[in-house]
């Protein structure tokens, strides 16, 4: 008996033994007085069994025929043994014209051992992985988003580079976002300081891994292309547990680094990036372990500075028009019409968008000189008139003015890279020497000293 039936049995027995009235029993059981009288009469005639529902133990009137159940399980055993309940239900409905609910089919499959509920599945065991043997053999990288300055500045991201063999912090850098440009800047500083490691080990962030479903497996992200050009392997982990060392390091940093910056009075990203080498030295002295073998697997950087500038750039291909122009990030670039460049009509050139904000255009191994017409900037009529391709520029300007009237706002292309790192680099350069940023605002004096 269930609890409700036990309560009913006790109330009816009390009525029969005249301990309570029928009205009181009706109020306790939420029944009418006449129904209580029927139960009393049945109890006196059949005893406690009269309280149990008369349909108990009998099959439901809308019960599915047992032969249908056997047919479903036979089809599943023969054709759909590794199918889930939902997919098996679709196939039984579409291919075999068997109509039962998904939940009914799930319970049949569970009872027959074809399906194990998620709640009853054994948790996956992640066994610890042995450390690598040498320094520089595997470098784990990750971005840790946190309120690092405890409200003194906006929330930001800390890019962490940690050696798998020793647990040493190899590089730390604060950035506003976790973008490709930020990783390019941090990785450039890493190889300048330590050399090129054998491999980087990361999660499946969009900076490292092409996550679109329709993407081909051989496609590379911009950061992946950078590492390929440097002959550095990029390995993406399948789960967060697989990169547990960098995860534990992030938790330690979110505790110790935050408190250290509070004590040091560091409140901005710029101040923190200058001070971080001191923190790295102290952290490694406390927590780093010796590698199993003393060999350093970092390789010497043999690329020149100019080659590294081209490698650590956002690279895209553009096709030149008949007038030797193309558009990139809503900006028109006009290649200088020299005799050599006039042969490049309808040819494909490579745009190098560097983290410091500079743009270079390359064809084969040759850099091309160019001029810029930015549709988002104010048009300088003097510069437009001096340009020999005035017609194409004016036609471009008219089209963009009509587009602006329709949109009522102007913004860079959403397909272009995020330029947070570029803007920060330009601000730092402007603070050092504003003449380099705005040379047109400064005129040389004609007075003799």
Greater confidence (109 vs 444) lies with 109
Give me the mean pLDDT over the 411-432 stretch.
Answer: 63
Q: Dihedral sign, CA of 416, 418, 424, 425? A: negative
Residue 245, pLDDT score = 75
Q: Cβ distance 64 to 42 under 8 Å?
A: no
pLDDT band at 348 (very low <50, low <70, confident <90, very high): very high
C-beta neighbour count of 220 within 10 angstroms: 14
Q: What's the CA gap between 23 and 34, in Å, rounded?
A: 10
Q: Cβ distance 43 to 12 under 8 Å?
A: yes
Residue 104, pLDDT score = 92
**Percent of the chain at pLDDT above 70?**
77
Greater confidence (257 vs 238) lies with 257
pLDDT band at 222 (very low <50, low <70, confident <90, very high): very high
In the predicted structure, residue 55 carries a pLDDT above the cut 60: yes
For 335, the token pair is 């290649």
In the predicted structure, residue 427 carries a pLDDT above the cut 50: yes
In the predicted structure, residue 42 carries a pLDDT above the cut 90: no
Greater confidence (63 vs 169) lies with 169
Q: Cβ distance 372 to 331 under 8 Å?
A: yes
For 83, the token pair is 């199918």
In terms of residues, how long is the chain? 449
User: Between β-strands 348-353 and 139-146, what pairing exists: parallel, antiparallel or unpaired?
Assistant: unpaired
Q: Name the β-bridge partners of 359.
A: 353
Residue 431, pLDDT score = 67
CA angle 332, 334, 335 (to 5 degrees): 145
189 CB contacts (<8 Å, ≥6 apart)?
171, 173
The secondary structure of residue 134, as a DSSP letter, is: S
pLDDT band at 118 (very low <50, low <70, confident <90, very high): confident
For 63, the token pair is 């019960």
Give me the mean pLDDT over the 37-54 stretch.
Answer: 81
Report residue 325 CA to chain centroid gap. Answer: 36
Greater confidence (237 vs 427) lies with 237
Greater confidence (395 vs 191) lies with 191
In the predicted structure, residue 436 carries a pLDDT above the cut 70: no
Based on its alpha-carbon atoms, the radius of gyration of the chain, rounded to whole angstroms, reads 37
For 51, the token pair is 């309280």
In the predicted structure, residue 296 carries a pLDDT above the cut 70: yes
């Amino acid at each position: 008996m269930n609890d409700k039936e036990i309560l009913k049995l006790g109330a009816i027995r009390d009525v029969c033994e005249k301990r309570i009235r029928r009205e009181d029993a009706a109020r306790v059981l939420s029944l009418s007085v006449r129904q209580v009288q029927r139960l009393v009469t049945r109890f006196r005639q059949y005893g406690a069994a009269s309280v149990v529902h008369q349909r108990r133990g009998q099959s439901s009137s809308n019960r599915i025929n047992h032969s249908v159940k056997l047919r479903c399980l036979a089809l599943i055993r023969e054709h759909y043994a590794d199918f889930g309940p939902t997919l098996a239900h679709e196939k039984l409905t579409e291919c075999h014209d068997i109509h039962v609910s998904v939940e009914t089919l799930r319970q049949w499959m569970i009872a027959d051992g074809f399906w194990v509920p998620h709640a009853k599945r054994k948790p996956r065991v992640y066994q610890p992985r042995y450390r690598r043997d040498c320094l520089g053999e595997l470098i784990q990288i990750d971005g840790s988003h946190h309120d690092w300055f405890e409200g003194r500045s906006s929330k930001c991201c800390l890019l962490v580079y940690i050696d798998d063999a020793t647990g040493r912090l190899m590089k730390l850098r604060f950035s506003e976002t976790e973008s490709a440009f930020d990783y390019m800047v941090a990785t450039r500083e890493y190889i300048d300081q330590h050399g090129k490691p054998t491999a980087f080990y990361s999660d499946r962030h969009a900076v490292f891994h092409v996550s679109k479903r329709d993407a081909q497996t051989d496609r590379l992200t911009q950061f992946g292309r950078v590492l390929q050009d440097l002959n550095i392997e990029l390995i993406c982990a399948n789960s967060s547990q697989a990169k547990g060392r960098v995860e534990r390091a992030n938790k330690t940093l979110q505790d110790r680094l935050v408190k250290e910056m509070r004590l040091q009075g560091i409140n901005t990203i710029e101040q923190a990036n200058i001070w971080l080498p001191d923190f790295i030295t102290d952290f490694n002295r406390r927590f780093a372990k010796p590698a199993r073998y003393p060999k350093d697997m970092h390789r010497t950087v043999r690329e020149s500075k100019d080659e590294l500038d081209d490698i650590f750039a956002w690279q895209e291909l553009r096709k030149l028009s008949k007038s030797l122009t193309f558009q990139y990030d809503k900006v028109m670039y006009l290649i200088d019409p020299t005799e050599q460049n006039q042969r490049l009509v309808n040819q494909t050139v490579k745009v190098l968008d560097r983290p410091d904000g500079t743009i270079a255009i390359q064809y084969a191994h040759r850099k091309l000189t160019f001029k810029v017409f930015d549709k988002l900037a104010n048009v300088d009529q003097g510069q437009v008139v001096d340009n020999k391709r005035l017609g194409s520029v004016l036609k471009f300007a008219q089209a963009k003015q009509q587009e602006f009237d329709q949109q009522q706002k102007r913004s860079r292309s959403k397909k272009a890279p995020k330029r947070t790192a570029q803007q920060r680099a330009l601000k730092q350069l402007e603070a050092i020497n504003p003449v380099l940023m705005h040379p047109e605002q400064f005129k040389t004096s004609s007075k003799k000293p």
